[in-house]
Structure 1
Amino acid sequence: MSFYISLSGLKASQVDLATISNNVSNVSSTAFKKSKTIFGDIFAAAPMQTTNQVAGQGVRVQGVTQQFTQGTLETTDKTLDLAIAGEGYFTVKGEDGTISYTRNGAFAVDDNRFAVDTTGARIQIFPVDPQTGVTTIDPTTATPANLVDLNIPTNNPNTPTAQLTSVGVDKKGLVSAVYADGSTLYLGQVAMASFNSQEGLRQEGDAHWSATVASGNPLLGTANQGMYGSVNSGMLERSNVDITDELVALIAAQRNFQANSKAIEAANTLTTTIVNLRT
């Protein structure tokens, strides 16, 4: 039995080592969220058996959960670099129409003048009145189907000869464009999403997540209020991995692996001794 107990410890240590290694390898990934391995003991006894005379039967991995703590905000001075200070997510739509959610706000303009992230997905916004910036739909009752892509036209739609001079994004996620004739047009308000259970989100890679039954449906809203956090233009959120903590955890996981290996070695020595006595 001791062989299998130690074997379960080896397998659990391998998962822990893989999790920590993934954290360390993504220390420079924008908006990456570190993970933590959760363990649980295995115990079984017969209904009439006294449990204080029974040893446990090893360990099992209950799951690998992400830690959605705030990462450090880094200044980039690029207007379309957006960082969230809070618990919200940007809503983006992939080329295949799939909606996902991200904290990676490294947006840029593609050849069609749409604002896209590093995967080519377009950021979603609430439509607004171009003159006043007031949303034309109620964000609290909106669904992802009500959102539109953010398009930044090179020329003023009302005055085609007036070219774009600058783009701005305020704390509430309201995107504005200033043109050469001095006019300002509001292009939309960044759609923020929140979830009842962040831990239930499904990882998609590149700091993207998708909604699941466990996370619940996205709760859409605007930035700088409630649970959505504020949008900071000209900044990016760094990984929340603390390299010092991870290296200490890596050493502990390595020692745990070695200890279980020694336990198997000791059990093997004991078994060999008993076999030699019989022969």
Structure 2
Amino acid sequence: MGFQQGLSGLNAASKSLDVIGNNISNANTVGFKMAQAQFADVYANSLSGGGTNSVGIGTRLSAVAQQFTQGNITGTNNPLDIAINGAGFFRMSTNGAITFSRNGQFQMDKNGGLVNSQGAQLTGYVADSNGVLSTGAAVPIVIDVSDVAANQTTSVNTKINLDSRELVPKTSGTPPVTTLVAFNPTDPTTFNKATSVEVFDSLGNPHILQTFYVQSNRLPLVAPVTKEWDVFAVVDGVYPPVTPPGLPAPIPTNSIGTVGFDAFGKLSKVTPSAAATPFAFDIRIDVPSTGAVTPIFTPALVKFDLTGSTQFGSPFSVNSLKQDGFTSGKLSKFNTSKDGSIVGSYTNGTTKVLAKVVISNFVSPTNLQSLGDNQWGETAMSGQPLTGSPGSGGLGLLTSSATEDSNTDLTGELVNMITAQRIYQANAQTIKTQDQIMQTLVNLR
């Protein structure tokens, strides 16, 4: 049996060297998981049952077990590269056939799909034009690269502080003031302070909305108002075409209304106020046509909300100013968040969720079938895939613009190679020794 034992040992050492060599050759393969050769001893069956003095007849390769330990995460310059930090596999689809991979090197094909170098498509949930993700089964991800539509401005929210120490601009008449000089946006002596904000019509065309604040000190005032300011609006250098009706006299022409503050500097009145918002004006954004061309955009009624504004004895300041409109935009870049959401950034400064990557894990990933090209396939022994969003159910998180290195321990594998070589030499020596014994028997007289 010495020859058979030695031969099995040579075969085992050769297989071990094959596995080690494969690990070393893939030390730079992204997402590669090293394998370990596992062996079992071999015993011949006894006719009378198991015996305590049985001698084994060698060894055999029991399994080549892959080691799904975490590889190092390395940053890249490709925003489509994704690394899994933790448990799980990318779920890939090739003409409907599902495979699994740890290699997150992706690129965009001509249809906007995210694919690997073999053309397999990354799967997940795709968002509609409003950024709402689909539900149900995961599907191949296709990125919508079309322009994002413009959004017409409907509201402007601002918080300002008007200086209570401000005096009435030059007037006609003797105080108490009853008549102000005509407001002129180009004459700073006819107003106290001004602000401006960019707003957008239905086609995404930008317009400059300016608001001017004129201290009126109008008497008599009705409690709790202790001081009033006239507010004027100018859009692209012209007055809004429609002035809200019902303004109390003696408000100057083209004023959109007044604001009043109480004795503690809090905003207490806006006249006339917008519907359902007591401290807001309605301003119509409607620029007249110039020449023979008539604008085709839809006029917008912008709610100019002053809620939270104050009148303190401190310099004028704009503490907050934001509006909800934007122009159209092109997709400029996108990245993947930790939970798998692919977020697109557009040239107009907006962002939108385009898709969401899902990953899968298995009860027994070591029993997955290696298919090559960094792909694994489901088997009966691995169990069914447990698919979900990254970070949920024990699944790992994603890192954008990064890849997972091979988990091959190059130093350890070189040591293992030396050990396997010595094992090979030792088994060869047993065959040599057995040959010498046989030669001695042959030479007996």
Q: Please confirm whether the aligned pair reaches a TM-score higher than 0.5, indicating the same fold.
A: yes
Q: CA separation in 2, counterparts of 1:129 and 1:50?
A: 68
Q: Which has the higher helix share?
A: 1
Is residue 116 of structure 1 aligned with residue 115 of structure 2? Answer: yes
Partner of 2:438: 271
More divergent stretch after superposition (194-203 vs 174-183): 174-183
Question: Which amino acid is 2:65 matched to?
Answer: T
Per the TM alignment, residue 8 of structure 1 is displaced from its structure 2 partner at its CA by 0.8
Please give the residue correspondences for 1:46-195 in structure 2 after superposition, counting only pairs within 5 Å. Answer: 46=46, 48=48, 51-94=51-94, 96-128=95-127, 130-131=129-130, 135-137=133-135, 142=136, 146-156=137-147, 158=149, 162-195=329-362
Partner of 1:7: 7
More divergent stretch after superposition (62-71 vs 219-228): 219-228
More divergent stretch after superposition (68-77 vs 50-59): 50-59
Q: CA separation in 1, counterparts of 2:138 and 2:391?
A: 19
Deviations 1:201-239 (A, max 9, x none): 111112111111111111110002232100000110000
Contact 1:36 1:66 in 2 (8 A): yes
Q: CA separation in 2, counterparts of 1:50 and 1:161?
A: 82
Q: Percent identical across equivalent pairs? A: 35
Per the TM alignment, residue 174 of structure 1 is displaced from its structure 2 partner at its CA by 0.3
Aligned length: 269
Query: Which residue of 369, 378, 388 maps to 1:202?
Result: 369
Per the TM alignment, residue 153 of structure 1 is displaced from its structure 2 partner at its CA by 3.0
Distance 1:50 1:34, change over 3 A: closer
- SS of the residue corresponding to residue 62 of structure 1 reads strand
Unmatched 5+ stretches in structure 2: 151-326
Q: CA separation in 2, counterparts of 1:83 and 1:8?
A: 41
Q: Which has the higher strand share?
A: 2
Q: CA separation in 2, counterparts of 1:109 and 1:179?
A: 18
Contact 2:149 2:328 in 1 (8 A): no
Deviations 1:15-67 (A, max 9, x none): 11100010010000001000001111112353647834332111111111100
Per the TM alignment, residue 125 of structure 1 is displaced from its structure 2 partner at its CA by 1.1
Q: CA separation in 2, counterparts of 1:66 and 1:43?
A: 27
Distance 1:100 1:49, change over 3 A: closer
Contact 2:369 2:376 in 1 (8 A): yes
- SS of the residue corresponding to residue 394 of structure 2 reads helix
More divergent stretch after superposition (155-164 vs 55-64): 155-164
Question: Which amino acid is 2:138 matched to?
Answer: L
Question: Which amino acid is 1:65 matched to?
Answer: A
Distance 1:167 1:50, change over 3 A: closer
Query: Which residue of 385, 400, 410 maps to 1:218?
Result: 385
Is residue 255 of structure 1 aligned with residue 422 of structure 2? Answer: yes
Q: CA separation in 2, counterparts of 1:23 and 1:34?
A: 5
More divergent stretch after superposition (248-257 vs 48-57): 48-57
Question: Which amino acid is 1:76 matched to?
Answer: T
Over 6 Å off, 4+ runs = none
Deviations 1:85-105 (A, max 9, x none): 1111111112x3211111100
Partner of 1:40: 40
More divergent stretch after superposition (1-10 vs 152-161): 152-161
More divergent stretch after superposition (268-277 vs 51-60): 51-60
Normalising by structure 1, what TM-score?
A: 0.90
Question: Which amino acid is 1:124 matched to?
Answer: T
Per the TM alignment, residue 180 of structure 1 is displaced from its structure 2 partner at its CA by 1.8
Question: Which amino acid is 2:121 matched to?
Answer: R
Query: Which residue of 243, 247, 258 maps to 2:410?
Result: 243
Contact 2:148 2:328 in 1 (8 A): no
Q: CA separation in 1, counterparts of 2:70 and 2:364?
A: 16
